[in-house]
Structure 1
Amino acid sequence: MKRPEFGSLPFNKQSTTPTNTDSQANKKNEQETVTDKPLYTGRYLIKLIDGQDCRVVRKVLESKLGFKVACSDDFKDIAITEFGIENSDALIYKDLGIALIDGEEQQIKRIQSATTNFIIEPEKIVYLPGDIQGVPDISSTWGLRATKVIHSNFTGKGVKVAVLDTGLDLQHPDFTGRQIHAESFVPNEAVEDLHGHGTHCIGTACGKTDINHKRYGIASDSVIYAGKVLSNQGSGAQSWILNAITWAVKNGCKVISMSLGSKVFPGQSYDLAYERVAQYALSKGCIIVAAAGNDSIRSQNVFAPVGSPADCPSILAVAAIDPDFNVADFSNRSINPTGKIAIAAPGV
């Protein structure tokens, strides 16, 4: 299977129009909107209609196109990675009713004509949230006081927490002695965080104290699962997110945190692949928390919808508030019917 492409061209309707999207509103809004970042990897996700058997997809791919098809069952004891599927043309996520495929336009059309039991959509590119300006003279630990973590008896002891991001600085002194499990889903990149965002997020969620013994983390006694799903440049493929969530759930994580996403347009529905994996996680006792996104400029009446995957009904979407408990100027808003903010938390 070819690796995902992260080209420099922006979205344009001639070359990257979604195939068989969930609604006409999705197609219209995406075609009329231009973004400065590419939206799709060049691969596709087949999403089975509820109740359909994965064998239907496998039969079509093998008989109609001669594809070599891998299955998530082939990875029972190891994580699914690009290296593991490089000799396949497709990967079926059996528990999710989804398949990742590498196909040309004519092959995609042949699949569409074979059956109406599924929809086909482009695989999304996922990015870190937009850069935001910090507020000067504000203690970085004000969130601990606001959430009353400092005086809480709960430390997350023994709870497995997965943070899916740009990885972790494994040599960082703040994590010395901590129980850490790490996996990279980014081809040709180790889990080592050369960007910094992942280490920052893991510190916020699971950190304890810095070298000056100043407390800054929340679940200070938790077991850390660091999944690298974004490259050192801060971008990744949607399937890497699916692979990492599956990995975290299979390893017994109770919380999965993601400060990442893809742009969502007004009128666009949630992504069925993300919703399926979120339902799978919930069925195993794991909750997924995701950033609502940083694409708004509220002071200028610019409001962006909750991003993907946070806009899924089964994922907890988190907005940001400042030290005065006002919604952060950059924080996205509940605009689309299915993209609702679940909670707001310190984020400035």
Structure 2
Amino acid sequence: MNPLIGDVNKNVYTGRYIVTFRQDAIQDGMRLLNNLTGVKNIPTTSDFIEGNWNIDQVKSAKGAVYEKLGVAVIEADEQQMMQLQMANEDEKTSIIAYEPELMMHAIEDLNPIELNNGNDANIPLSYIKGCRDEIDSLYQRLVSGDLNISTTDQQVMEVYEDTSMETWGLQATNVNNSQYSGRGIRVAVLDTGFDFSHPDFRGRRIESQSFVSGETVQDVHGHGTHCIGTACGARSNTGQRYGVAYESEIYVGKVLGNSGNGDDMGVLAGIEWALSNNCHIISMSLGPAVPICTTTIAYEQVGQRALQQGGLIIAAAGNTANRGRGNFSCVGRPANSKSIMAVAALNNRLQAASFSPRSGNNEGGEIDIAAPGVRIFSSWTLPNRYKIIDGTSMATPHVSGIAALFAEAYQARGYQLWQLLSSNARRLSLPNLDVGAGIVQAP
């Protein structure tokens, strides 16, 4: 049980609470909430068709109950939550736990390279300095003998580059050789929305819903459009392929606002909506503003219940490491739940990206799999149309798109889909702490 919140940090906590019910006791849990906290008549999933939540109605009612997930988000004061805590001491209670709700954010894009319709690139000074420092470090290691390049260590020599036909990420994950396209598979991307005017997605089936008060699904941030492009896109206007599951059915859940910010209430509503629409894969490149290394009971239960319903949640591990300075950080929330697949980022030499965190000591805080996440070309909001950015945010949709290929190829769902992704990953000569099962590979 988490301690009660005192002073609310508005950059981290919202002041609300996530309440997790025992899976078979949601109604009993709501009655307990009513009795102990006075929370009554808050909206539930069954109040909305196919999980199309009216987020304004939810927030005015000061809470919501997500029936498929078995959780609720409520507003309550400290005294009310203390009463709930005391009741929770009864082992027969219908409530597993309550935890403070967090603010959620699009995991920051690193080293953005602005593109002019895919033709020109303005590379920022920070990126150039990073390349210079990396080359200087490699030179010093070669001269000193610390780095021994031999024919037995072929991975040191392995380098992927974008070509006119496909991005380096599609090559490294064997997507370019796969016969599958994700046809018939529903992929939900919960992020900042999508730019519906993007010409590369004409004719695609796209379902959408906003879970951000006062904002439409239309993406003005760019992060969501980039993630959707990698997971579900096709080719650029020049013919270069950048997307994995190019015939999948796209479900856009706007859970982060135009500023890139949101909260657990919106994210949980998005997951509930995706499951209500029978989505097979749920991709989330988001997390709190600061590293939260401890796992959360709510997301662990949500991940398990999604798997039981045939949905696999795949989430970015975070960009909080600084490996050059010996800071390996930790896998952040919600990826640090053992029932949610946590994705690390690799560069084009199949080395752990400098910002990609390492597995923690807590159960569930492990890296599960790795994917390309450095200098990733994908779709962006108009008029830019495309952008190259870094992050575990970019690695995650590679895994999500490839999950759609496995779902098509083997009709796999939930736990089986997780197992296929892990068992078919390519092992790397890197610690499991950094890359989990290895780099994801397409069927």
Length-normalised TM-score, structure 2 = 0.66
Do the aligned residues in 2 keep the contact of 1:281 with 1:288 (CA within 8 Å)? yes
Are 2:31 and 1:69 aligned?
A: no
- How far 1:100 moved relative to its partner? 1.2
Choose which of 112, 115, 120 in structure 1 pairs with 2:98.
120
- How far 1:297 moved relative to its partner? 0.4
Secondary structure in 2 aligned to 1:277? Answer: helix
Separation (CA, whole Å) in 1 of partners of 2:185 and 2:52 = 21
Pairing 1:1-348 to 2, within 5 Å after superposition? 14-16=6-8, 38-48=11-21, 50=22, 53-70=25-42, 71-116=44-89, 117=93, 118=95, 119-133=97-111, 139=162, 141-262=167-288, 263-266=290-293, 268=294, 270-338=295-363, 339-348=365-374
- How far 1:252 moved relative to its partner? 1.6
Structure with greater Cα Rg:
2
Separation (CA, whole Å) in 1 of partners of 2:80 and 2:184 = 48
RMSD across aligned C-alpha pairs, in angstroms?
Answer: 2.2
- How far 1:235 moved relative to its partner? 1.1
Query: Which runs of 5 or more structure 2 residues have no equivalent in the other structure?
Result: 113-126, 132-160, 375-443
Which residue of structure 1 lines up, in the alignment, with residue 155 of structure 2? none
Residues 192-201 or 77-86, more deviating: 77-86
Instruction: Map Cα deviations across residues 148-205 of structure 1 (whole Å, 9 max, x no partner).
Output: 2112101111211111100000001111111111111001000000000000000011
Instruction: Map Cα deviations across residues 233-266 of structure 1 (whole Å, 9 max, x no partner).
Output: 1111112111111111121211111111124445
Between Structure 1 and Structure 2, the one with more helix by share is: 2
Which residue of structure 2 lines up, in the alignment, with residue 5 of structure 1? none
Do the aligned residues in 2 keep the contact of 1:69 with 1:91 (CA within 8 Å)? no
Do the aligned residues in 2 keep the contact of 1:132 with 1:330 (CA within 8 Å)? no
> Quick one: structure 1 residues 58 and 165, their matched pair in 2 at CA, closer, same or farther if it must change by over 3 Å?
same
Tell me the amino acid that sits aligned with residue 339 of structure 2: S
Do the aligned residues in 1 keep the contact of 2:55 with 2:213 (CA within 8 Å)? yes
Tell me the amino acid that sits aligned with residue 111 of structure 1: L
Tell me the amino acid that sits aligned with residue 323 of structure 2: R
Query: Which runs of 5 or more structure 1 residues have no equivalent in the other structure?
Result: 1-12, 18-36
Tell me the amino acid that sits aligned with residue 244 of structure 2: I
Separation (CA, whole Å) in 2 of partners of 1:130 and 1:77 = 31
Do the aligned residues in 2 keep the contact of 1:296 with 1:303 (CA within 8 Å)? yes
Secondary structure in 2 aligned to 1:200? Answer: helix
> Quick one: structure 1 residues 223 and 265, their matched pair in 2 at CA, closer, same or farther if it must change by over 3 Å?
closer
> Quick one: structure 1 residues 87 and 329, their matched pair in 2 at CA, closer, same or farther if it must change by over 3 Å?
closer
Separation (CA, whole Å) in 1 of partners of 2:199 and 2:23 = 49
Length-normalised TM-score, structure 1 = 0.84
Do the aligned residues in 2 keep the contact of 1:81 with 1:240 (CA within 8 Å)? no
Separation (CA, whole Å) in 2 of partners of 1:188 and 1:265 = 28
Secondary structure in 1 aligned to 2:111? Answer: coil
- How far 1:286 moved relative to its partner? 1.5
Instruction: Map Cα deviations across residues 275-301 of structure 1 (whole Å, 9 max, x no partner).
Output: 222122211212111111111000110
- Percentage identity across aligned positions? 43
Residues 79-88 or 302-311, more deviating: 79-88
Instruction: Map Cα deviations across residues 37-58 of structure 1 (whole Å, 9 max, x no partner).
Output: 811111111223x467223332
- How far 1:14 moved relative to its partner? 4.9
> Quick one: structure 1 residues 159 and 333, their matched pair in 2 at CA, closer, same or farther if it must change by over 3 Å?
same
Tell me the amino acid that sits aligned with residue 225 of structure 1: Y
Secondary structure in 2 aligned to 1:15? Answer: coil
Separation (CA, whole Å) in 2 of partners of 1:212 and 1:193 = 23
How many residues in Structure 1 have an aligned counterpart in Structure 2?
A: 314
Do the aligned residues in 1 keep the contact of 2:66 with 2:272 (CA within 8 Å)? no
Tell me the amino acid that sits aligned with residue 184 of structure 2: G
